[in-house]
A and B are shown apart, each in its own frame.
Chain A
Amino acid sequence: MEVARLWLGGRGLGTYLALRERLFEVDPLSPENLLVVAPGPLTGTGAPASARYSMTSRSPLTGTLFDGNSGGSFGDALRRLGWDYLIVSGALDEPGYVTLGMVGADDASPAGPAAGFHSAGDLWGRDVPSTLARLRELYPRSEAAVIGPAGERGVLFASIVNNRGRSIGRGGLGAVMGAKRLKALVLGHGDRRPPVADPERLEFIVYEAEKLLKANPITSTALPEFGTAVLVNVLDRAGALPTRNHRETRFEGAAAISGEALKRDHLRRRSACRGCMIGCARRTAVGDETGEGPEYETIWAFGAQCGVSDLAAVVRANYACNRAGLDTITMGSTIACAMELTELGLLPDGPRFGDARAIVELVAATAAGEGLGAELGLGSARLAALHGRPDLSMSVKRLEMPAYDPRGMKAQGLAYATSNRGGCHLRANMLGPEILGVPKMVDRFATLGKAGLLINLQNLNAVLDSLSVCKFTAFAMKEDYYARQLGAVWGETVEPQELLSLGERIWNAERLFNLAAGFTRDDDTLPPRLLHEPVADGPSAGQVVDLPPMLDEYYISRGWDEAGVPTAVKLERLGLLTVAAAAGVPPGRRQARGADADAP
């Protein structure tokens, strides 16, 4: 329980274990790397949108600590078996899969872990839907997290997928699983209910929370009706929709790939993670194909970022990624990078902006490791470096930035630059305050005065990923609702500010991991294009990101030194001095200013 109080679960617990096991020293694709699989204390309790879990490892794409977070029903299944986490270590000699908590069958066990190791047989080589379907035939009441061909081949941004379209994406944890020759984790059906100390109180808080979710137009109307794709037109009108490898910030084809168009032409029905009242997921169809998605970021990656306005092709590319087990953001943005390299004459016979057929074909080639696909499978940072133009990778710490151009929302640039897992909107998304007015609207072009707001968002998201609840609930709910839900689960008062402090602790621990892995202030940056190439026209015309002063303000506000290292006072306040020492990270020096640089 002491570990749970300090690290909560999910992402926080994964961070704790990754530091304890010194994963910053291991090759991400070696057997020494670990995969920590962990739901959170709210998973399966009935808290809104809490059917989630995390996987944490060292990323082969970024080299940073990396946690991915997925919905569906796999997290619930873990908790129904009574488990707070699993650690996957080592590697199999031959491709296989693992069953856990099965009743009867070959690893007869009423509820305990009792892992069963099985040869993958003909599962190896199958795509994701086929693998999931076969496992459901073999184990009818099971839940599985699997990799597709991309993970088997070690594509550096391969995903792990559960429930067909729910993915642990972005950082290539599918490749980590593939390197272990582990095709699937299969969970049996448990009947344990996650412990809730005060169920009546939890019911009361959940009722009050759902009132807010029902009242908020984002969670009650926009996301259910259009899914996340509702953002295409919103970001385009703001001049913050990155287009053609971030060369522009508005896309002339935005309407054709919008949430409205997706609903009109492809939506078959809404779907939702278990117990979620928002229901942002989409069941869609194109021609004879049906599947999940695409999400906003996917539409952007294959659409505006590649200059493609053919929504059917975007949907097909999304399906192809889901089948192969590929991260759509990195896939699309890496193709866009290849398109720009081609236009510059650096990639002979490469794809060109606007080529709808190419995006679908290149997804398949990447999954198969064929032709240009073999290079695309390395991600845009390595691809661009291979062809002599590393500046053309729209990535931070080798992770491709998603669909929010920081020249049109300045603090998002700071969010990308300081994200512990690279260019990512899920560590903190300034979409709320800079575009949607959540919690309140701020000047999106202002540079200074936003570090504190961003830090609070980063800390809150660390909490949400550790409780394992969906971030979309935060469009409607403030941190006190999460604290009161956790308080009901634990049977005590949890102060909202205490919860944010735990988030700050997790964030700083992740920073220590990355420092131990060799990352420095120089890695907290953005692609040169965003720093030096003003937007040509539209609502963000003339804008670039003035990052250095924002970064200085951020470090001071974090209680870090000029190099981005947490100071001794900060580490002591967070109870991380021992963790830092064990990781071999000396505390940062106090910043030389008139006032106390260590203030929280």
Chain B
Amino acid sequence: MSSAVLEQFRRIGRDLFVAGVVSSHGGNLSVRMGDRIAITRRGSMLARLEERDVIETGLSENDANVVLASTEINVHRAIYEATAAQAIVHAHPPYAIARSLMCDEIVPIDSEGSYLLHKVPVVHTELTAGSKQVAELLPKWLKEYDIVMLRGHGPFAIGHLLEEAYQLTSVLEMSCRIMTLADGMGEQIREYRKGSERYETW
């Protein structure tokens, strides 16, 4: 694995933790490298990634390294199998998770979220961490949306680059924080976006 790839993991991992969208050992990242995948080690701390914390293994076939890979590796592999994604970010952002407990889709009300996301579907499975159910369900949704929320667990975001997937994750959490703040004010929202009633059809 090149030093440039490792540096991407280190930067994005640190930023995710500093932004408060993963716990000390939560979340995982991966990039696709041809017929290989580089993914964070199971139980690694995203804020403190070292070379040994980024595991390279086959994209569709296991080798010995799979024993070290993230619990979610099968979900990542299924997403790569179904999409042209080159990178995946999975985080546990608290405001987005809280909102996912109450709705079937998240439609941001802020400008940045409206431009970049329009709408984020919320899906659910009985088993949420690294399960076959998740591996079967998420790729179907990610063929249409670049970020999808798994209820109670967290979003999976895809991109051509790790930074793109990170941006979507960050924007979703910020949008959910704003929605929570706005909810708490208890006032009617004054709409400023033409056609926003159609965002649910995005």
**B is bound to A:** yes
Whether the Cβ atoms of B32 and A452 lie closer than 8 Å is: yes
At the interface, yes or no: A449 with Cβ under 8 Å from chain B? Answer: yes
CA distance A439 to B86 in the complex (A): 13
- The digit string for A497-517, where 1 denotes a CB below 8 A from any CB of B, is 110110010000000000000
At the interface, yes or no: A133 with Cβ under 8 Å from chain B? Answer: no
With A207-B194, A497-B143, A599-B59 given, is the CB distance from A452 to B160 under 8 Å? yes
Closest to A554 in B: B34
With A215-B115, A600-B81 given, is the CB distance from A595 to B161 under 8 Å? no
Stretch at the interface among A298-306, A333-341, A440-448: A440-448
Closest to A478 in B: B146
Q: Which residues of B contact A557 (CB under 8 A)?
A: 33-35
At the interface, yes or no: B118 with Cβ under 8 Å from chain A? Answer: yes
CA distance A451 to B161 in the complex (A): 12
At the interface, yes or no: B163 with Cβ under 8 Å from chain A? Answer: yes
Which of B142, B159, B195, B202 is in CB contact (< 8 Å) with A497? B142
At the interface, yes or no: B188 with Cβ under 8 Å from chain A? Answer: no
Whether the Cβ atoms of B84 and A456 lie closer than 8 Å is: yes
Closest to A494 in B: B144
- The digit string for A196-222, where 1 denotes a CB below 8 A from any CB of B, is 000001001001100110010000000
Whether the Cβ atoms of A556 and B4 lie closer than 8 Å is: no
Q: Which residues of A contact B82 (CB under 8 A)?
A: 497
- The digit string for B28-68, where 1 denotes a CB below 8 A from any CB of A, is 00011111100000000000000000000111110100000
Closest to B163 in A: A440
Q: Which residues of A contact B31 (CB under 8 A)?
A: 449
Interface size on A, residues (CB 8 A): 45
CA distance A453 to B8 in the complex (A): 15
Which of A453, A495, A594 is in CB contact (< 8 Å) with B160? A453
Closest to A200 in B: B198
Q: Which residues of B contact A439 (CB under 8 A)?
A: 159-161, 164
At the interface, yes or no: A82 with Cβ under 8 Å from chain B? Answer: no
Q: Which residues of A contact B102 (CB under 8 A)?
A: none
Q: How far is the CB of B118 from chain A (nearest CB, A)?
A: 7
Whether the Cβ atoms of A595 and B63 lie closer than 8 Å is: yes
Whether the Cβ atoms of A211 and B86 lie closer than 8 Å is: no
CA distance A439 to B145 in the complex (A): 17
Extra A-B contacts (14), CB below 8 Å, given A212-B115, A480-B144, A553-B34? A204-B198, A204-B201, A208-B118, A433-B161, A439-B164, A440-B167, A446-B4, A448-B2, A452-B160, A459-B84, A500-B84, A557-B34, A597-B35, A599-B35
Provide a sorted-by-A list of 17 A–B residue pairs whose CB atoms are within 8 angstroms: A207-B194, A439-B160, A442-B161, A449-B31, A452-B33, A452-B34, A483-B144, A496-B144, A497-B84, A556-B34, A557-B33, A557-B34, A593-B35, A594-B58, A594-B63, A596-B60, A599-B80
On A, residues with C-beta under 8 Å from B are 201, 204, 207-208, 211-212, 215, 433, 439-440, 442-443, 446, 448-449, 451-453, 455-456, 459, 478, 480, 483-484, 493, 495-498, 500-501, 504, 553, 556-557, 591, 593-600
On B, residues with C-beta under 8 Å from A are 2, 4-5, 31-36, 57-61, 63, 80-84, 86, 115, 118, 142-146, 159-161, 163-164, 167, 194-195, 198, 201-202
